[in-house]
Amino acid sequence: GLVPLAGAKAQDYPTRAISMIVPFAAGGPTDTVARLIAESMSRSLGQQIVVENVGGAGGTRGAGQVAKATPDGYTILLHHIGQATSATLYRKLPYNVLTDFEEVGLVTDVPMTMIAKASLEPKDIAALVAYVKENKDKVIYGNAGVGSASHLCGMLFMSALGTPMTTVPYQGTGPAMNDLVGGQIDLMCDQTTNTTGQIKAGKVKAYAVTTKNRLKALPDVPTMQEGGVKDFEIAVWHGMYAPKGTPPAVVAKLNAALKQALQDPKVIARFADLGTEPVSQERATPEVHKAFVASEVAKWKPVIEQAGIFAD
C-alpha cells in the first residue's frame, strides 16, 4: 500500500478525533486518569480524544489492540504498571512490550490501599494479616485480572504472608469495587483514584496504604510498614503509548499536549483530591518513559518468577 506521507500528515496532525484505549472497564482508576488527561489534551490539540474501554486479560487485550493499530497517532493507549508486569506474566503475549510501542510519556504514580468490605471483622492491618493467615482461601480477593495493578498488589500481599487467597478477576476494579461495597467479596488492593471517595464515605474499610509514608488525602490510614508488613511498597505508575512506527512529529505533538495537561490546574487539583499528583515535566518525556518501562520489566521479572504466578 501507499507509504503514508508521514511529513505532511504529521504536520497537520491531528485533523480528526483521537481514540484513547483504556485497557480496563469504565469507572476504574485507569479510566479516571485517562478521562482527566484526555479532556485536557483535547483542548490543546483542538480535536476530541475519545476514551474507549477495552477490558480483558489484565489489560493485555486493550494494549494488544493498540500494538496492532495503524501507527498514525489516532489510536493511543493509557496504561499503567501492568504494561511492564505483563511482559513476564504472559509468556505468549501477541505483542512485544519493549518494541511494539512508541512511549509518549509518563503521567502519574498512584498509591494503593488495602481495603475490605465494611463488615470484615479485623480491626487493623496486623489483625487482617492474622485473619488472612487463619482463613487462607476462604478470603475472597477481587482484582482486575492477571496483569492488573490489583493483581500485582494481591500477589505481593500473598507472598509476604505466605498465604493463598481465592481471587476473583473483574474487567476492572470499578466493577470489583461495586461487589466489595456490596459485600460480595472480602478484600481488594486498589488505587487511591478509585478508593479515596469510598473510604471517606465509609463504604469500605481501609487497612493500609502501600506507600512509604501516609497520604495527605488519607491521613488516618497507616502504612503497611506500620502494620508490620515489611518491604511492601508499590505505586502504580501510568504512561501513554502509540503504536510502533507512529511518526516522531506526531509523538512529539502528543507529548507536548500531555506535558501541558500535567500542568493543567484542573488536572492537578483533581489528582490531589484522589491522592496522587502528575509526574514532573522532566519525567514526562518519551525517552525517560521508554527507559523506565525497560527498567520496570527487569525489576518485576524476578519477583513474578519467584511468586510463580503466570497467566498462560
List contacts with ligand MLT (CB under 6 A).
Answer: 24-25, 28-31, 82, 143-144, 148-150, 172-174, 190-191
Please, what sign has the CA dihedral across residues 277, 34, 80, 11? Answer: negative
Q: Outline where DSSP puts E strands in 38-100.
A: 49-53, 75-80
State the minimum distance, in angstroms, from the CB of residue 282 to ligand MLT.
Answer: 26
b/e 26-62 (16+ beta carbons within 10 angstroms → b)? bebbbbbbbbbbbbbbbeebebebebebbbbbbbbbb
State the minimum distance, in angstroms, from the CB of residue 149 to ligand MLT.
Answer: 4
Q: Which is nearer to ligand MLT, 23 or 243 (CB)?
A: 23
State the minimum distance, in angstroms, from the CB of residue 193 to ligand MLT.
Answer: 8
State the minimum distance, in angstroms, from the CB of residue 3 to ligand MLT.
Answer: 37
Cell of residue 185, nine digits: 467479596
Which ranges in 99-203 belong to alpha helices (H)?
Answer: 125-135, 149-161, 173-181, 192-200
State the minimum distance, in angstroms, from the CB of residue 187 to ligand MLT.
Answer: 13
Residue 16 CB neighbours (<10 A): 8
Question: What does DSSP assign to residue 2?
Answer: P
Cell of residue 129, nine digits: 494479616
State the minimum distance, in angstroms, from the CB of residue 21 to ligand MLT.
Answer: 13
What value does the CA radius of gyration of the chain take, rounded to a whole number of Å?
Answer: 19
Q: Which is nearer to ligand MLT, 192 or 285 (CB)?
A: 192
Query: Nearest to ligand MLT by Cβ — which residue?
Result: 28
Q: Which is nearer to ligand MLT, 117 or 151 (CB)?
A: 151
Q: Which is nearer to ligand MLT, 11 or 184 (CB)?
A: 184
Q: Which is nearer to ligand MLT, 276 or 285 (CB)?
A: 276
What residue type is 187 in one-letter code?
Answer: L
State the minimum distance, in angstroms, from the CB of residue 14 to ligand MLT.
Answer: 26
Q: Which of 36, 106, 48 is nearest to 269 (CA)?
A: 36
**What number of helices (H) and strands (E) belong to the chain?**
11, 9
Q: Which is nearer to ligand MLT, 56 or 172 (CB)?
A: 172
Residue 63 CB neighbours (<10 A): 27
Q: Which is nearer to ligand MLT, 192 or 246 (CB)?
A: 192
